[in-house]
């Protein structure tokens, strides 16, 4: 029979073999777990990186949508110009004497209202709040117009709103179409610029027609006055001429009266007397 000492050695050997087998098993399993964990970590980091990249892209897109300070100032100035033309046009529709001026004013209200609506949509997409009333220069112009009436109002409206204000609006749009950093603002300015140029030509035509009409009225007044003067002079001449023959006839009658039948100078009368 094996001795107790041998049994203890055998048990120790068996335990050693079991421990070695367990260690080998652990080593064969844990690297896979580590690989799985590493893979999961890498996937998470990749996902986080993608999310961060998407967020950065969205932020960049949002940043690209915002206007620079220069562009924002230009879009606000264009809005004020549109508001000024609309306000002055409405006033002219009420106070203008000429139908042609009223027609011009209506065109200004319609076109600039449309341009302002498009500008509002553009500003909203860029996160810009537009002004709701004209600038001080346009308001001062309208105040002067309100003090006028009749032909004076028509003339001043065409000079200020038709000519000067459109030249200023043309300058703003031309600068925006060539210098704006935002492509949407540039496109808008180029589109409306063509409309404003047509307004400038319309203003010139209307002003020229007003001037011709005023000159025509003035010429008619002079012609009528001249005709009345000529008629008066002619009537006076006829009166003088008529009086003169009448006077001459009377003088002739008194200085050389016709001979009477009973005159002594007549030979027949002398013979009969004898």
> What percent of the chain is modeled with pLDDT above 70?
55
* Confidence (pLDDT) at 182: 96
* pTM of full prediction above 0.85: no
175's CB contacts (< 8 A; 6+ apart) are 74
165-179 and 183-255 helices, crossing angle to 10°: 160
258, two tokens: 């016709």
We find that the CATH architecture of domain 67-211 is Up-down Bundle (1.20)
Domain ranges of the chain: 67-211
Mean residue pLDDT across the chain:
74
Arithmetic mean of pLDDT, 120-132: 95
- The string of pLDDT tens digits covering residues 49-100 is 444 444 434 433 334 578 999 999 999 999 999 999 999 999 999 999 999 9
Alpha helices in the chain, H assignment, sequence order: 4-65, 69-95, 99-126, 136-146, 150-157, 165-179, 183-255, 267-273
Least confident of 71-85, 151-165, 253-267: 253-267
Is the pLDDT confidence value at 268 over 60? Answer: no
* Confidence (pLDDT) at 246: 45
Is the pLDDT confidence value at 125 over 50? Answer: yes
């Amino acid at each position: 029979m094996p001795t107790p000492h041998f049994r203890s050695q055998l048990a120790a050997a068996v335990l050693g073999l079991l421990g070695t087998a367990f260690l080998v098993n652990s080593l064969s399993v844990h690297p896979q777990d580590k690989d799985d964990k590493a893979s999961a970590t890498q996937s998470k980091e990749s996902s986080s990186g993608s999310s961060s990249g998407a967020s950065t892209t969205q932020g960049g897109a949002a940043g690209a949508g915002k206007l620079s300070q220069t562009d924002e100032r230009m879009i606000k100035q264009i809005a004020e110009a549109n508001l000024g033309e609309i306000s002055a046009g409405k006033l002219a529709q009420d106070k203008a004497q000429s139908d042609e001026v009223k027609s011009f004013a209506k065109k200004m209200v319609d076109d600039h209202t449309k341009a302002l609506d498009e500008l509002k949509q553009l500003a909203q997409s860029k996160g810009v709040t537009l002004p709701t009333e004209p600038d001080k220069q346009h308001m001062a112009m309208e105040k002067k117009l309100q003090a006028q009436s009749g032909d004076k109002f028509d003339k001043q409206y065409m000079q200020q709103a038709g000519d000067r204000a459109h030249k200023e609006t043309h300058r703003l749009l031309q600068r925006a179409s060539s210098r704006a950093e935002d492509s949407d603002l540039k496109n808008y300015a180029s589109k409306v610029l063509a409309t404003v140029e047509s307004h400038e030509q319309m203003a010139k035509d209307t002003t020229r027609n007003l001037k011709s009409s005023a000159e025509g009225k003035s010429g008619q007044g002079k012609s009528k006055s001249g005709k009345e003067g000529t008629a008066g002079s002619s009537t006076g001449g006829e009166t003088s001429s008529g009086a003169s023959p009448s006077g001459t006839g009377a003088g002739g009658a008194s200085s050389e009266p016709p001979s009477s039948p009973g005159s002594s100078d007549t030979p027949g009368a002398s013979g009969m007397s004898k």
